[in-house]
Amino acid sequence: MRKTALSIVDKTIYVFNIIAALALLISYAAPYVNPADYWYISIFGLAYPLLIISNGVFILYWIIRLRKHVFLSTVAIALGYFHFSKFYQSHEVSEYPPVNSIRILSHNLRALGLNGPEFQTEDSRKVFEFLDEGIYDVYCFQEFFDTKRKGFAPYDSIKRITHAKYRHVEVLVEFRGNSFGIATLSQYPIVEKGIVDFEREGTNMCIYTDIDFDGTIIRIYNMHLQSLGLGKKDMNVFQYNGESQQEKLNDAKSVLGKLKSAYSKRQEQAENIRQHIYDCQYPVIVCGDFNDTPLSFAYQQIKGDLNDAFVESGTGFGHTYNGAFPLLRIDYMMYSNSIKNHHFEVVKKDLSDHYPLVGYFTVD
């Protein structure tokens, strides 16, 4: 009886293993499939970190069981090894980047935690303390926020802390004395600035800022692409809280609808940005929150021939999302081939739902 029971368990586990391996293989196609054609493929790319973990668990299980089934997940992971390098790297950290490096900080501030139902300044205080720890040549902020509520002026505080003389701030939403947008601050002169044209929603936007670094002009792209727009109710769709079967089905349809809409909008945004980068006469550095993983159409479109700073100089796991989903990398720095990256770091400090990115660059 014991042998039969184990055989049934193994067969059941192997069925789930096959599903996980197939899902992982499908995720490898996500960067190359336009969401306008097959949007649901993008979900597999989003789930890549979980699929890697689950297939790793299956490998450990079959090793313990001493079964040849171990080869299924092993082969599935091996076929996409180059994708794994976009999530984990083992470069040595450069302790002494060149003194003439262009130092860039990029961070999604999540409105400094100031736009919640209760006014509190604890989150903004932590961000200000972090900014005060170092000086950068360029600051790229997504979900930038300013307010005049209760005499609190975060933008003035950021200007004072960063000492940035030149600023490019675009406001998308204003109400009741609050301003939401995106901001690029620089210690070097800004010679041109503008907005990449695409349909915007909420705080999603891409701006470009041409900065003169001692005679060399570099275009800095700062972007915040379409978010999934999932609320707390959506995140609990797989939990049972007393809802009827029909209510659960309606909730699931709502989540899928939001995913489809987000992927379609990001596809359009990414294609417009890609064309804008292609038409640029200057070397470029791209910073921002893509709201999508490296196994996504948006990442692949924007990256094009650019270099991914984490892939070239990062170390450890490169996850940038400080939230419920593990190992989610959705914030990036990319750069032209004429630019060299000497240092890249994801600063694992609890300042918002995104970790800050730091990069040091020189121009060849």
CATH of the domain at 318: 3.60.10.10
Same domain, 78 and 204: no
Question: Are the beta carbons of 111 and 136 closer than 8 angstroms?
Answer: no
Same domain, 80 and 106: no
Average pLDDT, the chain: 90
Same domain, 23 and 135: no
Same domain, 169 and 224: yes
Same domain, 111 and 69: no
- pTM (2 decimals)? 0.91
Q: What is the pLDDT of residue 246?
A: 65
Could you say which of 57, 84, 111 is where a domain stops?
Answer: 84
Give the closest residue to 138 by CA, choosing from 184, 194, 183.
184
Q: What is the pLDDT of residue 1?
A: 39
| pLDDT tens by residue, 250-280 | 767 878 888 898 999 999 999 999 999 999 9
Residue 167 φ then ψ, to 5°: -140, 140
Q: What is the mean pLDDT of residues 67-92?
A: 94
Same domain, 206 and 143: yes
Structural domain span for residue 31: 2-84
Same domain, 240 and 359: yes
Q: Is residue 93 part of a domain?
A: no
Q: What is the mean pLDDT of residues 141-159?
A: 87
Same domain, 320 and 193: yes
Same domain, 241 and 191: yes
| pLDDT tens by residue, 55-76 | 999 999 999 988 899 999 999 9
Distance CA 296, CA 270 (A): 11
Angle at 159 between CA 156 and CA 161, to 5 degrees: 110
Same domain, 132 and 185: yes
Same domain, 155 and 72: no
DSSP 268: H
Q: Return the percentage of the chain with pLDDT > 90, whole number.
A: 71
Number of separate domains in the chain: 2
Q: How would residue 229 be classed by pLDDT, with cut points 50, 70 and 90?
A: low
Q: Is residue 308 part of a domain?
A: yes
| pLDDT tens by residue, 278-334 | 999 999 999 999 999 999 999 999 999 999 999 999 999 999 999 877 789 999 999
Q: What is the pLDDT of residue 2?
A: 47
Helix runs in 114-153, H state only: 122-131
Q: Is residue 339 part of a domain?
A: yes
Q: Is residue 265 part of a domain?
A: yes
Provide the CB-side half-sphere exposure for 247 (13 A, CA): 8
